[in-house]
Structure 1
């Protein structure tokens, strides 16, 4: 049986049907691909548009772990934060947490170490969990009555543990280190129990890691040259204003005058803030507005005009307004305290207020007033770091056009007379932490220790913390050797009470230990 011949018309129809079927198949494939891409796009979009912040009902938890808005502009992805100890065991002294840099860890209700240290908050930014600093980073420390005691973590006291300069230098090394390449990073993430699916890995490769490293490179290029010009900060100290000259206003470190390059100072206590409204605040008294001081400090922690969480900051500020320091555990002789109070009231109270039993009295003719550097005689580097040029930029640019625009900053000629509440927790003393104990502060400047150990938290019976002498060329086994001969570290000045007879100094010290 033979098949019938195909006519030309039928052959054309077959070819046309074949083409139509092929086009239909291609259209179907394209439609499927489009729908798949659309679904993937929606999933990706949902992931990268997810922004959320944990809420802490308890105000102390909020202070220690709540976000103030620093993560979007300055933070480290949580997954990277978690794996850095494994990637850099030498930097972390073999530990699996950040205590090597002085970060403090609390335990949860089950007695387990908390995931993040005090002062590190977490926020989801464009679908990625990110961590960075909050107020408690600089304003939470520890103390122990005896060397064998467990450390007491105390909110609102100065951080006496955190070596922030060393931590920042470690973070800067990430920007160029090959160990942070995607494949190596993903491998360590898996070892640490952090799971990323195929889509997560794609997002990290093309988005998260390039953006993080690019931002880190820019910050490193701006800030590291300045840090290289300065002596090591050491624990409990930070440069207050110079970093945001560079980061907020784009000033080159090389453009800073030699006089303004070293603005490193001690981290302050932040107890009982409400009575301070209207006093000259910051070490040099350059602002009398608590709200502006708080926003300025938040910028130092990494927030920007766009990312700042005003509500979170104001909630902390309201709590700190009436937060009292813990009572001094020192038990000096009551009769010596009474004699010392008479000496103090005659020579010190008008500048600093005074302690009356369990209550600190914020009263004095010169409290909160700026004492001229020519009379005070302390190291002037922190004062000189705050310049009139910088002040003008603050007032012109920061929060411009908003209700938060700065308008109260001023340039001063000295350091402010500050209240001394919680004095027992605030060692070392002077604005740059250059005098280890209260007893040493009553010595003539030339008799004060030239180098001593910082970063300790055992109370010294002479006020402040145990701070043995040290040799700068020989780092101590524990702590940091603070050298007062280096620029910005001078321990001269504030020679008040140094000429008192030794018996009267002892009585005055007894009274000061009750603050």
Structure 2
């Protein structure tokens, strides 16, 4: 007698789920994106997108790869901190302290925020994009991922060279962001607490404003899936099969290989072709992108010289198309879906065309710098570009030179023929001409004073050490550092440690140049100059 009722109940549930599924939201724009006025100039829209656009990174697709259920992750991080430091409060101050340790900038003022932009009110660090998704209508999951500003918005510096983590500039490098430590800590914290009865109460304590729908979604949808996924990873000791860099360096090529299903070197352990995060000033002058210039504009010479007249709308749009492709794999999105972000990326290129980094915060000896400008024109400009004269030089001609300068080859060889063919097999084959085997591209040197450590792999801590190879340290610290105004770069002791009493704003790590991908050899240009001429060259580079 009860079976018809069960049948009708089951039918009702199926109908209800179907209705709810139709109301689901699988991808949305990030809440971290500042709001700008309708019809705002492209540079303004680009600055806002650079600060907080999601590029598809807050979606259900991304949640199965790199994106995270933020409330759950935040609670696990706080519980993990309290396990090590029982006096840490169960609140957002502890969460902020943990995130700052990885180099994220919390509670920061952006000195070049888009004009008229309304700051986002997410209470999250700069560069973390976030949105509320609904895999089934009525459910709510707050999902977070990384955006442009996580790596490419860095601290400014005071007149004494000390970092200002409370004031950041879009476009400057975050040379303290440590994505390896961030992902490893999340993995370990979730592994420790996903099965604990402490986790959901901790979520409630951190986010008392959370709705009952999101609370139910975490309990009945997210947490069971997280536990299932962690069980599948029970036999591994890390969430990613490849090393993901160190403070100020990332491993985008290995991430791309994973996204495209390509084999990793030694199963991932050997795929350590990291790249140091650069300042983005004048990067739009390039005709190819990535450290090895693997992505070139189709139908044009890959390494053609550029001038101001070259940087027109078509050039910016072509670079934007390439940028969407290599950005999204790091967010866990398949490259074929990247084209949806083309308009945002084009606006970002317009913003970067006018972007200038903070002026060098210390004093500059202009007499010495003028002499250094002569040395630069003679020994450096053929590869790194020509600049105008004066106290604020601007790039006037960029050769887009590419070749072998004797630096660590791993990053270039990691982008192999198999990966090139896989890229050519995506929907981007008409937007990207893939070229490999040409060595590294000499970048513009605008903002170089803020870009330490140097070389493509971040293996040399100062310009002085770059120009004097015998002084390049084997091991040195990076992350949360102050500036050396004399050598220009990281302020270190002779042993590669920070000065006694200095307290970095993030957790530093030691770079060991004997590790795979981290060799500090090569780039001997300028190393034979007399001591005084080298000092003058460094003084000039402060102006760029």
Same fold (TM over 0.5): yes
Specify whether residues 48 and 286 from structure 1 end up closer, same or farther in structure 2 by C-alpha distance, changes over 3 A only.
same
Among 313, 321, 326, the alignment partner of 1:296 is 326
Return the alpha-carbon distance in structure 1 between the equivalents of residues 173 and 234 of structure 2. Answer: 26
Q: Which residue of 2 aligns with 1:272?
A: 282
Question: SS state of the match for residue 435, structure 1?
Answer: coil
Deviates most, 351-360 or 101-110: 101-110
Specify whether residues 313 and 84 from structure 1 end up closer, same or farther in structure 2 by C-alpha distance, changes over 3 A only.
farther
Query: Does 1:468 find its partner at 2:455?
Result: no
Among 130, 133, 156, the alignment partner of 2:146 is 133
Return the alpha-carbon distance in structure 1 between the equivalents of residues 211 and 122 of structure 2. Answer: 26
Map residues 339-488 of structure 1 onto 2, 5 A cutoff.
Answer: 339-356=371-388, 357=390, 358-364=392-398, 367-372=399-404, 376-396=405-425, 398-399=426-427, 407-443=432-468, 445-461=469-485, 462-470=487-495, 478=504, 479-488=508-517
Gap runs ≥5 in structure 1: 1-21
Return the alpha-carbon distance in structure 2 between the equivalents of residues 363 and 111 of structure 1. Answer: 36
Superimposed CA distance per residue, residues 107-134 of structure 1 (whole angstroms, 9 cap, x where no aligned partner): 5799999611111111232242211011
Is contact 2:161–2:361 with CA below 8 Å preserved after alignment?
no
Specify whether residues 437 and 305 from structure 1 end up closer, same or farther in structure 2 by C-alpha distance, changes over 3 A only.
closer
Is contact 2:76–2:199 with CA below 8 Å preserved after alignment?
no
Q: Which residue of 1 aligns with 2:58?
A: 71
Map residues 56-455 of structure 1 onto 2, 5 A cutoff.
Answer: 56-58=34-36, 59=45, 60-72=47-59, 73=62, 74-89=66-81, 94=88, 95-97=94-96, 98-107=99-108, 115-126=123-134, 127-145=140-158, 146=160, 150-151=164-165, 152-174=167-189, 176-177=191-192, 179-181=193-195, 183-194=197-208, 200-212=214-226, 224=238, 233-249=245-261, 251=263, 254-255=266-267, 261-276=271-286, 278=287, 280-289=288-297, 290=319, 291-305=321-335, 308=338, 309-310=340-341, 311-356=343-388, 357=390, 358-364=392-398, 367-372=399-404, 376-396=405-425, 398-399=426-427, 407-443=432-468, 445-455=469-479
Question: SS state of the match for residue 96, structure 1?
Answer: helix
Using the TM superposition, give the Cα deviation of residue 383 of structure 1 relative to its aligned residue in structure 2, in angstroms. Answer: 1.6
Is contact 1:160–1:235 with CA below 8 Å preserved after alignment?
yes
Instruction: Considering Cα pairs closer than 8 Å and 6+ residues apart, tell me whether 1 or 2 has the greater RCO.
Output: 2
Question: SS state of the match for residue 492, structure 1?
Answer: coil
Using the TM superposition, give the Cα deviation of residue 43 of structure 1 relative to its aligned residue in structure 2, in angstroms. Answer: 7.8
Specify whether residues 471 and 139 from structure 1 end up closer, same or farther in structure 2 by C-alpha distance, changes over 3 A only.
closer
Deviates most, 57-66 or 219-228: 219-228
Using the TM superposition, give the Cα deviation of residue 220 of structure 1 relative to its aligned residue in structure 2, in angstroms. Answer: 9.5
Using the TM superposition, give the Cα deviation of residue 247 of structure 1 relative to its aligned residue in structure 2, in angstroms. Answer: 3.9
Using the TM superposition, give the Cα deviation of residue 405 of structure 1 relative to its aligned residue in structure 2, in angstroms. Answer: 5.3
Using the TM superposition, give the Cα deviation of residue 218 of structure 1 relative to its aligned residue in structure 2, in angstroms. Answer: 7.0
Using the TM superposition, give the Cα deviation of residue 509 of structure 1 relative to its aligned residue in structure 2, in angstroms. Answer: 1.4
Is contact 1:281–1:368 with CA below 8 Å preserved after alignment?
no
Return the alpha-carbon distance in structure 1 between the equivalents of residues 6 and 412 of structure 2. Answer: 68
Return the alpha-carbon distance in structure 2 between the equivalents of residues 244 and 434 of structure 1. Answer: 23
Using the TM superposition, give the Cα deviation of residue 249 of structure 1 relative to its aligned residue in structure 2, in angstroms. Answer: 0.7
Using the TM superposition, give the Cα deviation of residue 56 of structure 1 relative to its aligned residue in structure 2, in angstroms. Answer: 2.9
Question: SS state of the match for residue 145, structure 2?
Answer: strand
TM superposition score normalised by structure 2: 0.76
Using the TM superposition, give the Cα deviation of residue 304 of structure 1 relative to its aligned residue in structure 2, in angstroms. Answer: 2.3
Specify whether residues 305 and 361 from structure 1 end up closer, same or farther in structure 2 by C-alpha distance, changes over 3 A only.
closer
Specify whether residues 406 and 299 from structure 1 end up closer, same or farther in structure 2 by C-alpha distance, changes over 3 A only.
farther
Question: SS state of the match for residue 249, structure 1?
Answer: coil
Using the TM superposition, give the Cα deviation of residue 439 of structure 1 relative to its aligned residue in structure 2, in angstroms. Answer: 1.3
Using the TM superposition, give the Cα deviation of residue 235 of structure 1 relative to its aligned residue in structure 2, in angstroms. Answer: 0.4
Using the TM superposition, give the Cα deviation of residue 37 of structure 1 relative to its aligned residue in structure 2, in angstroms. Answer: 4.7
Using the TM superposition, give the Cα deviation of residue 511 of structure 1 relative to its aligned residue in structure 2, in angstroms. Answer: 1.0
Return the alpha-carbon distance in structure 2 between the equivalents of residues 43 and 343 of structure 1. Answer: 71
Using the TM superposition, give the Cα deviation of residue 265 of structure 1 relative to its aligned residue in structure 2, in angstroms. Answer: 1.9
Superimposed CA distance per residue, residues 374-400 of structure 1 (whole angstroms, 9 cap, x where no aligned partner): xx111122122111111111111x336
Specify whether residues 272 and 210 from structure 1 end up closer, same or farther in structure 2 by C-alpha distance, changes over 3 A only.
farther
- The number of residue pairs the alignment matches comes to 472
Specify whether residues 105 and 219 from structure 1 end up closer, same or farther in structure 2 by C-alpha distance, changes over 3 A only.
farther
Return the alpha-carbon distance in structure 2 between the equivalents of residues 252 and 148 of structure 1. Answer: 40
Using the TM superposition, give the Cα deviation of residue 331 of structure 1 relative to its aligned residue in structure 2, in angstroms. Answer: 2.7
Specify whether residues 497 and 197 from structure 1 end up closer, same or farther in structure 2 by C-alpha distance, changes over 3 A only.
closer
Using the TM superposition, give the Cα deviation of residue 154 of structure 1 relative to its aligned residue in structure 2, in angstroms. Answer: 1.7
Is contact 2:403–2:441 with CA below 8 Å preserved after alignment?
yes
Return the alpha-carbon distance in structure 2 between the equivalents of residues 293 and 313 of structure 1. Answer: 7
Return the alpha-carbon distance in structure 2 between the equivalents of residues 416 and 220 of structure 1. Answer: 41
Superimposed CA distance per residue, residues 328-359 of structure 1 (whole angstroms, 9 cap, x where no aligned partner): 23432221111111111111111111332324
- Higher CA-based Rg: 1
TM superposition score normalised by structure 1: 0.80
